[in-house]
């Protein structure tokens, strides 16, 4: 009998999925609390179990070495940057993860944030909350007619392209993969990174967090962005030099920015949050009931479909 332990507390919000998983795997264990596990707590919780259905839990060397019975980790998360394939392979642990399970929710947020930032909604809302009515005058901008650049045109980036179709924008996109067929179908111009940075009135980031993207947006790269542009990041933290970004937002070189993710989270003390033209949210791109349901369903179904994680092969490239 396969022994399954579930570390994510999200099943409490979906009793029908919880009942289905329990029926598939009699004796399955579910969490009764919602705090982040320490290494020792994760070890104690998973001791003696074959399969872990997880959210954002870190399977370190210490954790994996202490769990000789663990054979499969089935992820309910949107990303895999908390998983080390070298460690998993060392201990003979296979995994399941499906890309794009939250693509609709994140894509909708990205388009929402484009309009939000262009219209300076955060700035004007703050003025109102501080007791003024309009305060310093200044106009926002329409999304219609803008050149929207998409850096990373995978599952989420493609959904952003589809959602932007009614807005009358020019879409340019940059991706390491060949997206030519998709680009032709959806009227997207494929460009290199230099052209993307130079031409985008609005730039939205949809890159994974890995060795090729961590720190990609350096001070020098930020200086290449079109003056007065608007920047959106609903992807992953750690892609930007946030100190350099704060300088460019404060100076107006970047007119506005809206970020859902940060290099260090929680990001409550991040200096970017003090800037009136910087809108922030606490990593909520996938926090919709539809996304949660899709991620839990993926984790459930993936128990029987694990694969060997490989360094240099997607999603660990």
DSSP state for residue 88 in the 8-state scheme = H
The 3-state DSSP class for residue 4 equals: strand
Q: By 3-state DSSP, what share of the chain in percent is helix, strand and coil, each rounded to 5? A: 40, 15, 45
Task: List, in order of start, the domains of the chain with CATH numbers.
Answer: 4-101+288-304 (3.40.50.720), 103-280 (3.40.50.720)
239 has pLDDT over 70 = yes
137 has pLDDT over 80 = no
**Contact (CB, 8 A) for 93 and 59:** yes
CA distance 103 to 295: 11
| C-alpha 168, offset from chain centre | 26
Mean pLDDT, range 252-257, rounded to an integer: 97
CA distance 266 to 245: 18
DSSP state for residue 307 in the 8-state scheme = B
pLDDT-based confidence at residue 79 (cuts at 50, 70, 90)? confident
The 3-state DSSP class for residue 258 equals: strand
- HSE value, Cβ hemisphere, 13 Å, CA-based, for 17: 23
pLDDT-based confidence at residue 160 (cuts at 50, 70, 90)? very high
| C-alpha 201, offset from chain centre | 22
Identify the pLDDT of residue 134. 79
pLDDT-based confidence at residue 33 (cuts at 50, 70, 90)? confident
Q: Over the chain, what is the mean pLDDT? A: 95
Query: In which order are the strands placed within the sheet that holds 94-96?
Result: 29-30, 4-6, 51-54, 72-75, 94-96
CA distance 229 to 118: 9
315 has pLDDT over 80 = yes
Catalytic amino acids?
A: 236, 265, 283
Query: In which order are the strands placed within the sheet that holds 188-190?
Result: 188-190, 170-174, 147-151, 202-205, 229-233, 254-259, 278-280
Identify the pLDDT of residue 136. 64
Structure tokens that stand for 304 in this block: 């029987």
Question: 131 CB contacts (<8 Å, ≥6 apart)?
Answer: none
Identify the pLDDT of residue 6. 98
Strands 170-174 and 202-205: unpaired
Mean pLDDT, range 11-25, rounded to an integer: 97
Tens of pLDDT, residue by residue over 268-294, are: 999 999 999 999 999 999 899 999 999
Identify the pLDDT of residue 81. 86
pLDDT-based confidence at residue 312 (cuts at 50, 70, 90)? confident
**Contact (CB, 8 A) for 54 and 77:** yes
47 has pLDDT over 80 = yes
**Contact (CB, 8 A) for 118 and 92:** no
Report the 10 Å Cβ neighbour count for 50.
17
The 3-state DSSP class for residue 277 equals: coil
155 has pLDDT over 90 = yes
Burial of residue 195, with CB atoms counted within 10 A of its CB: 0-12 exposed, 13-18 middle, 19 or more buried? middle
Query: Phi/psi of residue 151, each to 5°?
Result: -100, 105
Mean pLDDT, range 244-269, rounded to an integer: 97
233 has pLDDT over 90 = yes
Mean pLDDT, range 108-116, rounded to an integer: 98
CA distance 243 to 274: 13
Peptide bond into 42 cis (omega under 30): no
pLDDT-based confidence at residue 251 (cuts at 50, 70, 90)? very high
224 has pLDDT over 70 = yes
Is pTM beyond 0.75? Reply is: yes
Q: 281: part of which helix (H) or strand (E)?
A: none
**Contact (CB, 8 A) for 76 and 10:** yes
238 has pLDDT over 80 = yes
């Amino acid at each position: 009998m396969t022994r399954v332990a579930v570390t994510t507390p999200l099943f409490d919000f979906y009793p029908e999925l919880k009942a289905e998983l329990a029926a598939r795997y009699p004796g399955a264990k579910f969490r009764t609390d919602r705090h982040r596990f320490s290494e020792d707590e994760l070890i104690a919780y998973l001791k003696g179990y074959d399969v872990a259905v997880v959210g954002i839990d870190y399977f370190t060397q210490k954790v994996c070495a202490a769990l000789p019975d663990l054979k499969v980790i089935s992820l309910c998360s949107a990303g895999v940057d908390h998983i080390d394939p070298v460690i998993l392979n060392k201990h003979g642990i296979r995994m399941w993860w499906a890309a794009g399970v939250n693509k609709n929710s994140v894509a909708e947020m990205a388009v929402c944030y484009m309009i939000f930032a262009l219209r300076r909604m955060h700035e004007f809302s703050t003025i109102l909350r501080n007791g003024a009515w309009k305060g310093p005058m200044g106009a926002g901008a329409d999304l219609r007619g803008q050149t929207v650049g998409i850096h990373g045109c995978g599952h989420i980036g493609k959904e952003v392209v589809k959602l932007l179709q009614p807005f009358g924008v020019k879409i340019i996109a940059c991706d390491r993969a060949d997206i030519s067929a998709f680009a032709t179908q959806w009227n997207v111009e494929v460009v290199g990174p230099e052209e993307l940075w130079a031409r985008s009135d609005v730039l939205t980031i949809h890159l994974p967090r890995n060795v090729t993207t961590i720190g990609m947006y350096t001070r020098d790269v930020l200086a290449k962005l079109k003056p007065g542009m608007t920047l959106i990041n609903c992807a992953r933290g750690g892609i930007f030099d946030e100190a350099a970004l704060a300088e460019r937002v404060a100076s107006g070189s970047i007119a506005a920015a809206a970020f859902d993710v940060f290099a260090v989270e929680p990001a409550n003390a991040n200096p970017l949050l003090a800037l009136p033209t910087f809108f922030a949210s606490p990593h909520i791109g996938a926090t919709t009931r539809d996304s949660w349901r899709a991620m839990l369903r993926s984790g459930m179904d993936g128990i029987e479909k694990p694969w060997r994680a490989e360094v240099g092969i997607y999603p660990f490239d």
